[in-house]
Structure 1
Amino acid sequence: MKIGKALKEIRLNLGLSQAKMCEGIIQRPFYALVESEKSGIGAESLIMILIKHEVDIDYFFNLVKDAYVTPEDRADQLLQNKMEYAVNSKNINAINFYEKEISTVATDEILKLRARVTAAYFANQLDELNNDLITKIYKKFDKEEWTRCTSLLRLLANTMPLWEYNRLTSLMKHLLHTIERRKVTSELMMERYIRILENYLVSCYDRKKYKDKNQKVFIDKVFEYLIKNTASFHFMIYRLHAYYMKALFEDDRITAKNIIKSLEKYGYGKAIVSWPKVEL
């Protein structure tokens, strides 16, 4: 929905009149034009209204974003969603199908890179990817700004198995240092960072790096950050995943088994299908 319609929906949910919704910010007649989509609204006024009524900005963004994307971007997003569903369910045939479709019709270069590496990973064909593609991925992370770029964070998450370990760890140290120094106020961005860090733990586990004392120091810092920043209910599944990974690293199979059994018992089996599996 567009901004005006979203504002109206929020206002009605809050039980406010138009005058109360915009009081002290803009005039009611002008606000009425905004709601009816006969006029736009300045960014500063919009933010002031949202803050005044304690409306989560990420929530508002998600309400309106689909109304303002291009048809090409919308088509890319749909393909991305289908690929993510195939990956989460580990449907190899669907992964290969959507990788081919993305490579043919998608306009987003980063989405194409992600899909290519994902398909190769699930087919155990990472070694067959050409050096030009790998170099192209590496170059995307030459700039400092990558830690704020959503598409590059997704690219890193999807291509971790491809990275040489020391190079990957250098990136992760930079990321952890950056987000510890920067106050992350967006819950959505925090979730993205948490997912990246947890993907890194899985990559370390797959490569058996926890047994290396030199690598263990940084891995423990990642665990510490995750446990500290996943206390809210919204992040509970990530917190449990961190504890599960820690149990795997420490070869504590009883704890790992209990975590899995508890989640399956309470209906979270589908949410953990992509977690590393071990003989419990």
Structure 2
Amino acid sequence: MKDEKILKLRAIVATYYLEDKLDYLKDSIKKEIVSEIYNSKNITKNTPIIQLFSNVMPILSNDQLNILILEFLRRYENSNKKTEMDRKRIAVLLNNYLVTCYEKGIDGDVVDKTISCLMNMQDVHLLIYKEVGKFYFELIKGNKTNALKIKQELKNWNYTNLTEKLKI
């Protein structure tokens, strides 16, 4: 993996994750990951960086997570050409951010900006990503009843496997 730095970092994090030892990941690896993400050119189209960022969110500090997602949102909003695949990758990343925020108890302006960006994506193929994003946004905001309604709507749309993964 000498020439595959991003893949190597993802593999390291995946190994620690599967062994339930994310807390033991070395700070030097975390710093290297943050540096790779932050210094990436064209982050909104760089699939390996998007995947790395999505995979490592749980190991980042709240400040690192928010700084990186803000930078990501800024670059995304300023990018001109957004293909359907780009928007799908971004939607997945934003959902992962919202899940991580829910799990870590993070709320605030960055969460609001994230859901706003997700909801402003103009593509019918992203409807499910938007619904999942709204589900976690409602949980972050403490609106469990609204989250349950969204989950039930998804179940009514025959997304039963998905709804089984949406934990409250």
TM over 0.5: yes
Structure 1 counterpart of 2:35, from 139, 144, 166? 139
Matched, 1:116 2:7: no
Partner of 2:84: 187
Question: What corresponds to 1:93 in structure 2?
Answer: none
| Residue 174 of structure 1: aligned partner | 71
Report if the CA contact (8 A) 2:84-2:123 is conserved. no
> Kindly tell me: are residues 115 and 183 of structure 1, through their superposed partners in 2, closer, same or farther at Cα, counting changes over 3 Å?
same
Deviations 1:3-38 (A, max 9, x none): xxxxxxxxxxxxxxxxxxxxxxxxxxxxxxxxxxxx
Aligned to 2:22: 126
Question: Can you list the C-alpha shifts for 1:250-277, whole angstroms capped at 9, x where unaligned?
Answer: 22222211222232243212234543x1
The CA distance in 1 between the partners of 2:158 and 2:15, in whole Å, is 29
Paired residue for 2:120? 228
Length, aligned pairs only: 167
Q: 1:117 to 1:274 in 2, by over 3 A?
A: farther
Q: Which letter maps to 2:127?
A: M
Is 1:245 paired with 2:136? yes
After superposition, the C-alpha distances for 1:47-100 in whole angstroms (9 at most, x for unaligned) are xxxxxxxxxxxxxxxxxxxxxxxxxxxxxxxxxxxxxxxxxxxxxxxxxxxxxx
Alpha-carbon shift at residue 170 of structure 1 (Å): 1.0
1:261 and 2:152 are equivalent in the alignment? yes
Which structure 1 residue ranges, 4+ long, deviate > 6 Å from structure 2?
A: none
In structure 1, the gaps of 5 or more residues are 1-102, 211-215
Cα deviation code 1:126-185 (max 9, x no counterpart):
111223322332231342405132111110100111112212211111111111122233
* Distance in 1 separating the partners of 2:94 and 2:157: 26
Q: Which residue of 2 aligns with 1:218?
A: 110
Asked if 1:153 is matched to 2:47, the reply is: no
Measured in 2, the distance between the counterparts of 1:178 and 1:127 equals: 30
Question: Which runs of no fewer than 5 residues in structure 2 stay unpaired?
Answer: none
Which structure has the greater CA radius of gyration? 1
| Matched residue type, 1:232 | D
What is the Cα-based RMSD across aligned positions, in Å? 2.3
Alpha-carbon distance between aligned partners in 1 of 2:19 and 2:153, rounded to the nearest angstrom: 31
Shift of 1:241: 0.8
Letter in 1 for 2:12: R
Structure 1 residues 269, 107: CA separation in 2 closer, same or farther (over 3 Å shift)?
farther
